[in-house]
């Protein structure tokens, strides 16, 4: 293998682990990133001459900790970190000398990134950068933020970790559930950012769905006993299984109920079901498991040819009781309209607080659909226009515009339920979430 | 904060304005967008501009003032219209810009307005 690729591979395989290890000891994510960046540069410079070392990670770690120590010497402000760094030096040398596998501190890194002291808006970007080494420009495009602003937010967040002395530790059992939920939400936000883009022509604008799923697998490996981590992974995999079916070959939007189930990935659905089963064995339900279960009901259409809307409505009811977000409330209204009738769904939809739906496109799409079904075409047209005006995804916009023109409308009962997988969607309020129901 | 959403269009986009079928396709998506902006109560000003060849450009150089036919710069995309919106921050402005139903090849630029000029 050529050395450049060896460095790339080491970066891909070990970046998060190396950074976690260094940051957990220096307690300074930014300094650890700089040191590790230098180490990769050094590898690019010397591996072509010396060959790829037998243990590339240990080599990188040795160089990186040397940089960290030198940086700390230059920087009196961080003088208090010196003892830690010296210990790190010893530890890194020991690790290099023996066959001991260095500890995986990525879980601590994930908890740091989603710490309550970190602005929720920057948690996902921080994870993507520190654990997966995504660059700020790509993260910025995915999250619709000015790239220089994204860079500043990431830098500020890392300064906060250092200055606030946020501890590198996995929370105690007592405070684990809310802290874990923040981690899972941040991972799910990365998944949602990947949804719009199916063609994926411009790699910088490519979504982050694959990265989010990688983080999902990482989490269940690190904390296999946490059912909600399995639930999140099941949810993402169920949505991912339908990626191919979600667009026509020409790029047109295909709502869930119109999708050709033979284009759903059986393998990915099976993985999702495995994750959901694993979660269920723990016997403690959470909103990600409920959302995954809703997707699981939809997935059953591949076998049965029909959608059990009663089951979907029941699961949404549970979701609303657990986390009454806008996404969950709108999803429940859509499911009830399908399971029972439009007026019942409409009654639920009208009860959703107006302030929370002003910019929430799925609400308006569902409103249009239900009013249409109830024989109120003028009001339906107004709501549909609102949905079109709020739409960010060109394919979904075209789909809605065709509906507005009165071309043979598909049965969109599900487009709206569908576009809002629930809890997550509403929390960020952006609607930039999986449009699968 | 006031932000300008500047919409740049290609020659083909400008030509499409006089093609009834293409114009209808454009307006089917654009009218709801304008409406959503207005319903959100954030529009400070907005305008759609005539085609760039109708522009008249004034320049002041060493030899004094000259008046020319056409737009100031001969670029592939030309300013086709704009909105000035009042939103809390750039993130919100970018979200509205992302909702703008631009076709392929169109470009949207978002810039903050100088506070004392508006």
Number of domains in chain A: 2
The pLDDT assigned to A413 comes to 40
> To the nearest whole angstrom, how far is the Cα of A388 from the nearest Cα of chain B?
6
Q: Between chains, do B34 and A389 touch, taking CB under 8 Å as contact?
A: yes
Residue that terminates a domain, selected from A221, A247, A269: A221
Using the Cβ of A165 and the Cβ atoms of chain B, whether some distance falls under 8 Å is answered with no
Count of Cβ atoms closer than 10 Å to residue A199 Cβ = 11
User: Is residue B66 a part of any domain in this protein?
Assistant: no
Give the length of chain B: 118
Residue that terminates a domain, selected from A103, A134, A155: A103
Q: Which structural domain range is residue B10 located in?
A: 2-49+75-117
Residues A206 and A149 placed together within one structural domain of the fold: yes
> To the nearest whole angstrom, how far is the Cα of A365 from the nearest Cα of chain B?
13
Query: Residue B43 forms beta bridges with which residues?
Result: B85
A394/A386 Cα distance (integer angstroms): 15
A287/A297 Cα distance (integer angstroms): 15
A436/A238 Cα distance (integer angstroms): 9
pLDDT for A401 beyond 80: yes
- Give A12-54 pLDDT, tens digit per residue: 778 888 999 888 888 889 999 999 999 999 999 998 888 888 8
Instruction: Enumerate the H helices of A75-146 as residue ranges.
Output: 82-97, 106-113, 120-132, 136-142
Query: What is the reported pTM?
Result: 0.83
DSSP for A220-260, written as a single string? HHH-TT-HHHHHHHHHHHHHHHTTGGGB-TTS-B--GGGS-
Residues A110 and A186 placed together within one structural domain of the fold: yes
Domain of residue B42, CATH code: 3.30.70.1060
User: Is residue B58 a part of any domain in this protein?
Assistant: no
The pLDDT assigned to B94 comes to 95
**In the structure, what pLDDT confidence band is assigned to residue A11 with cuts at 50, 70 and 90?**
confident
A18/A24 Cα distance (integer angstroms): 10
The pLDDT assigned to A412 comes to 43
Q: Which chain A residues touch B29 with a CB distance below 8 Å?
A: 388, 397-398, 401
Report the DSSP pairing between strands B107-112 and B2-9: antiparallel
Percent composition of chain A: helix, strand, coil (DSSP 3-state, to 5): 75, 0, 25
Residues A119 and A196 placed together within one structural domain of the fold: yes
pLDDT for B55 beyond 70: yes
Residue among B29, B32, B93, B109 with most chain A CBs within 10 A, to mutate: B32
A245/A257 Cα distance (integer angstroms): 11
Note which residues in 389-408 of chain A have CB less than 8 A from chain B. Answer: 389-392, 394, 397-398, 401, 404-405
Q: Between chains, do A389 and B91 touch, taking CB under 8 Å as contact?
A: no
B3/B115 Cα distance (integer angstroms): 10
Q: Which structural domain range is residue A174 located in?
A: 105-221
Residues 6+ apart with CB under 8 A from A108: A20, A24, A168, A169, A170
Residues A174 and A118 placed together within one structural domain of the fold: yes
Q: Which chain B residues touch A389 with a CB distance below 8 Å?
A: 32-37, 39, 99
Q: Which chain B residues touch A388 with a CB distance below 8 Å?
A: 28-29, 32-33, 36, 101
CB A325 within 8 A of CB A423: yes
A200/A197 Cα distance (integer angstroms): 6
User: Is residue B35 a part of any domain in this protein?
Assistant: yes
Residues A22 and A83 placed together within one structural domain of the fold: yes
Q: Which chain B residues touch A358 with a CB distance below 8 Å?
A: 39-40
Q: Quick check: helix, strand or coil at residue B60?
A: strand
User: Is residue A260 a part of any domain in this protein?
Assistant: no
Q: Between chains, do A385 and B31 touch, taking CB under 8 Å as contact?
A: yes
Highest mean pLDDT among A23-37, A136-150, B83-97: B83-97
Q: Which residue has the higher pLDDT, A177 or A194?
A: A177
Q: Cα dist. A252→A78, A369, A386, B1 in Å?
A: 55, 20, 20, 36
Token output for A151: 């860079």
Residue that terminates a domain, selected from A201, A221, A241: A221
User: Is residue B69 a part of any domain in this protein?
Assistant: no
Q: Between chains, do B28 and A405 touch, taking CB under 8 Å as contact?
A: yes
A182/A115 Cα distance (integer angstroms): 8
% of chain A at pLDDT higher than 70: 83
pLDDT for A426 beyond 60: no
- What dihedral angle (degrees, nearest 10) is formed by the CA atoms of B21, B25, B28, B34? -110
Number of domains in chain B: 1
Residues A94 and A129 placed together within one structural domain of the fold: no
Report chain B residues touching chain A, CB-CB < 8 A.
Answer: 28-29, 31-37, 39-40, 90-91, 94-95, 98-99, 101
Query: Residue B82 forms beta bridges with which residues?
Result: B6, B47
- Which candidate from B34, B36, B94 shows the least CB-CB separation from A390? B36
Token output for A277: 């089963």
pLDDT for A398 beyond 60: yes
User: Is residue A378 a part of any domain in this protein?
Assistant: no
User: Is residue A297 a part of any domain in this protein?
Assistant: no
User: Is residue A119 a part of any domain in this protein?
Assistant: yes
**In the structure, what pLDDT confidence band is assigned to residue A98 with cuts at 50, 70 and 90?**
low
Mean pLDDT of chain A: 84
Q: In chain A, whose CA is at the least distance from the CA of B91? A: A145
Residues A76 and A112 placed together within one structural domain of the fold: no
Q: In chain A, whose CA is at the least distance from the CA of B111? A: A146
The interface predicted TM-score of the complex, written ipTM, equals: 0.86
- Give A100-135 pLDDT, tens digit per residue: 567 788 899 999 999 999 999 899 999 999 988 888
Q: Name the least confident of A96-105, A332-341, A386-395, B80-89.
A: A96-105
User: Is residue B54 a part of any domain in this protein?
Assistant: no
B105/B29 Cα distance (integer angstroms): 16
Residues A77 and A98 placed together within one structural domain of the fold: yes
CB A206 within 8 A of CB A197: yes
- Opening angle at CA A369, ends A363 and A372, nearest 5: 135
């Amino acid at each position: 293998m050529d050395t450049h690729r060896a460095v790339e591979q080491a970066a891909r395989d070990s970046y998060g682990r190396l950074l976690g290890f260094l940051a957990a000891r220096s307690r300074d994510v930014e300094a650890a990133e700089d040191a590790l960046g230098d180490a990769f540069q050094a590898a690019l410079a010397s591996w072509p001459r010396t060959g790829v070392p037998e243990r590339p990670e240990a080599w990188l770690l040795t160089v990186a900790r040397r940089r960290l120590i030198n940086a700390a010497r230059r920087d009196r402000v961080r003088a208090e970190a010196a003892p830690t760094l010296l210990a790190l030096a010893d530890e890194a040398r020991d690790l290099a000398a023996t066959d001991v596998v260095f500890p995986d501190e990525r879980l601590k890194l994930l908890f740091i990134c989603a710490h309550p002291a970190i602005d929720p808006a920057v948690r996902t970007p921080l994870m993507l950068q520190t654990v997966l080494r995504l660059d700020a420009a790509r993260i910025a495009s995915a999250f619709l933020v000015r790239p220089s602003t994204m860079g500043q937010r990431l830098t500020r967040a890392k300064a906060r970790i250092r200055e606030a002395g946020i501890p590198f530790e996995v929370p105690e059992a007592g405070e684990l559930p809310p802290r874990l939920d923040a981690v899972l939400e941040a991972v799910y936000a990365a998944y949602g950012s990947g949804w719009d883009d199916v063609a994926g022509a411009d790699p910088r604008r490519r979504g982050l769905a694959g990265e989010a799923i990688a983080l999902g697998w990482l989490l269940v490996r690190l904390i296999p006993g946490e059912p909600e981590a399995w639930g999140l992974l099941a949810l993402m995999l169920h949505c991912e299984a339908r990626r191919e079916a979600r667009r026509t070959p020409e790029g047109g939007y295909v709502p869930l109920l119109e999708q050709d189930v033979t284009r759903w990935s059986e393998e990915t659905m099976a993985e999702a079901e495995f994750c959901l089963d694993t979660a269920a064995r723990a016997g403690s339900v959470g909103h990600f498991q409920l959302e995954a279960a809703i997707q699981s009901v939809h997935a059953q259409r591949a076998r049965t040819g029909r959608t059990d809307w009663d089951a979907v409505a029941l699961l949404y009811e549970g979701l609303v009781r657990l986390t009454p977000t806008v996404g969950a409330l709108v999803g429940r209204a859509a499911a009830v309209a399908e399971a029972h009738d439009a007026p019942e769904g409409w009654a639920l939809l009208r009860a959703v607080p107006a302030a929370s739906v002003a910019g929430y496109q799925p609400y308006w799409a569902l409103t249009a659909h239900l009013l249409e079904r109830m024989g109120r075409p003028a009001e339906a047209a107004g709501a549909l226009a609102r949905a079109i005006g709020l739409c960010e995804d060109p394919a979904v916009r075209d789909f809605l515009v065709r509906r507005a023109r009165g071309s043979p409308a598909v049965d969109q009962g599900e487009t709206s339920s569908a576009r809002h997988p629930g809890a997550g969607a509403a929390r960020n309020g952006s609607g930039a979430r999986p449009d699968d129901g | 904060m006031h932000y300008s959403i500047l919409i740049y269009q290609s020659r083909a986009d400008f030509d499409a304005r006089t093609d009834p079928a293409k114009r209808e396709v454009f307006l089917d998506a654009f009218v709801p967008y304008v409406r959503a902006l207005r319903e959100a109560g954030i529009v400070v000003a907005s305008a759609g501009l005539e085609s760039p060849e109708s522009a008249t450009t004034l320049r002041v150089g060493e030899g004094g003032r000259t008046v020319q036919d056409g737009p100031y710069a001969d670029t592939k995309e030309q300013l086709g219209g704009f909105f000035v919106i009042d939103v809390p921050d750039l993130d919100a402005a970018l979200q509205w810009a992302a909702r703008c139903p631009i076709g392929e090849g169109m470009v949207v630029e978002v810039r903050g307005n100088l506070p004392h000029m508006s």
